[in-house]
Amino acid sequence: MRSFEYGDEKIGGKEIMIAIPSMVIGVGILSLPRSISVDTIGSDGWIVLVIGGLISVLMVWLMAKLASGFPHQSFFSYASTIVSKPVAIVLTFLFAILFISVAAYDIRTLGHISQQYLFDHTPVEVVTLSFLLVVVYAVAGSRAGLFRLNMLFLPIIIFIIAIVLVMNLKWLDLTNLLPVFQTDVKGYLKGIHTSSLSYMGISIVLFYIAFVDQPKKAPKMVVLGMSIPIVMYVLIYLTCLMVFGYTATSHLLFPTIDLAKRVELPGGILERVEAIFFVVWTMGVFNTTVMAVDVAIMALHSIFKKMKKMQLIFILSPVIYYIALFPRDTGQIILFGDFLGTYMVSFAFITTIVLIVIAKIRGVKPNDKTNA
């Protein structure tokens, strides 16, 4: 049976807008309130979330401006025009490695948390492999189909998270927001660094703008898309703080899960609401992982043009699985995520700035060829 294919792989402004929160909202949403509370004092965490978000908005806007300046060209194509083909090969290959690592981190975290809360008698290797197979199946299909899945899943994710937040309103204690402005400069800097890592997937913009049918509108759309996770993260953090208090939030491993556990539906319709939350969270991780693998394949295919997409999928799948099994416990998984986030955010920001500056200095102008 032949697989269904869309008429073309072009996407609109809404698709690229939805792709940003779909990529950003993933495994980190469970532990973000704790991570921010550890770095700050009282309710000051919302400040670093907003500042980190604004920095990410600037980054994603610069990435979109750069990529939209070379309409319908792949990252490898316009990077070759700006800094020469050999340098572009290195940059593209490094991005591929980073996105492979993101996919490995996502499936490992999902496997670890799912084993703790859902499949306590199932080996984590089995859970991880099962999720990877589903991701591989999705990536093997149409790229336009992935964006339509984003548009299908994201409203569900936002709706369920909103339900969890609303159902916790009766537990809110506004006094838990005190004291305010107690964090020192070092704490704010650490918090901004931590919050910036939670937005690390935005570099997909450098690759996916090539498929946008109206690239000039892309910068505005990605900024709108970036506002969704910023607002969501701030609301989740403040809710955790008002429900659990600063001290408890900073010591809970996954505060967002504990929020879902406190939800009680009228009439006892569903005793374990967190089960629904886990399903929705898995959908978010699925979106993130699928796009990470897809961008890695796209990057490698632009370098090794003779290799087919399925060949790259078969090569990368065991590599991703092998990397995913490196962290052995929760501590190692957290360290892996922090290390990966730091280098990915730094590399994406530096690469974008360098390409923009060199393009301005050299007066590089886009040509009319299509090389996505």
State how far the Cα of 206 lies from the Cα of 66, in Å rounded to an integer.
8
The encoded tokens of residue 41 equal 């004092």
Residue 266 binned pLDDT confidence (cut-offs 50, 70, 90): low
pLDDT for the residue 261? 86
If we measure between CA atoms, which residue out of 69, 100, 45, 53 comes closest to residue 205? 69
Residue 122 C-beta-side C-alpha neighbours within 13 Å: 16
User: Is the distance from CB of 212 to CB of 12 less than 8 angstroms?
Assistant: yes
Q: What structural domains does the chain harbor?
A: 13-355 (1.20.1740.10)
Q: What pLDDT digit, counting tens, does each position of 171-186 carry?
A: 998 888 888 888 899 9
Q: CB of 275 within 8 A of CB of 70? A: no
pLDDT exceeds cutoff 70 at 1: no
| Distance (Å, whole) CA 148 – CA 258 | 31
- Token pair listed for 303: 């370098």
Counting residues of the chain whose pLDDT is more than 70, the rounded percentage is: 94
| Neighbouring C-beta atoms of residue 89, cutoff 10 Å | 15
- Per this entry, what is the length of the chain? 372
Q: What is the pLDDT of residue 223?
A: 95
Residue 80 pLDDT exceeds 50: yes
30/49 Cα distance (integer angstroms): 15
pLDDT at residue 367, as a whole number: 55
Average pLDDT along the chain: 89
Whether omega before 179 lies within 30 degrees of 0, making that bond cis, reads yes
- pLDDT reported for residue 366: 65
Say if CB 206 and CB 63 are below 8 A apart.
Answer: yes
Q: What whole-number distance in Å separates Cα of residue 181 and Cα of residue 235?
A: 18
DSSP 3-state of 331? helix
Structure tokens belonging to residue 195: 């919050």
Question: Of 291, 223, 206, which Cα lies nearest the Cα of 55?
Answer: 223
Tokens 């920095």 belong to which residue? Answer: 55
Mean pLDDT of 148-153: 92
**Which two tokens mark 335?**
């360290």
Write a three-state SS string for 92-105: HHHHHHHHHHHHHH
Per-residue model confidence (pLDDT) at position 179: 82
Angle, vertex CA 313, rays to CA 307 and CA 318, nearest 5: 125
User: How many other C-beta atoms lie within 10 A of the C-beta of residue 217?
Assistant: 16
251: pLDDT strictly greater than 80: yes
pLDDT in tens, 189-235: 999 999 988 888 899 999 999 999 888 899 999 999 999 999 999 99
> Of 7-21, 153-167, 288-302, 317-331, which gets the smallest average pLDDT?
7-21
**Mean pLDDT, residues 251-265 taken together:** 87
Q: Strand, coil or helix: what is 269?
A: coil
**pTM greater than the 0.85 cutoff:** yes
Provide mean pLDDT across the span 137-152: 91
Per-residue tokens: 324: 């995913």
Give the per-residue pLDDT at 178.
Answer: 84
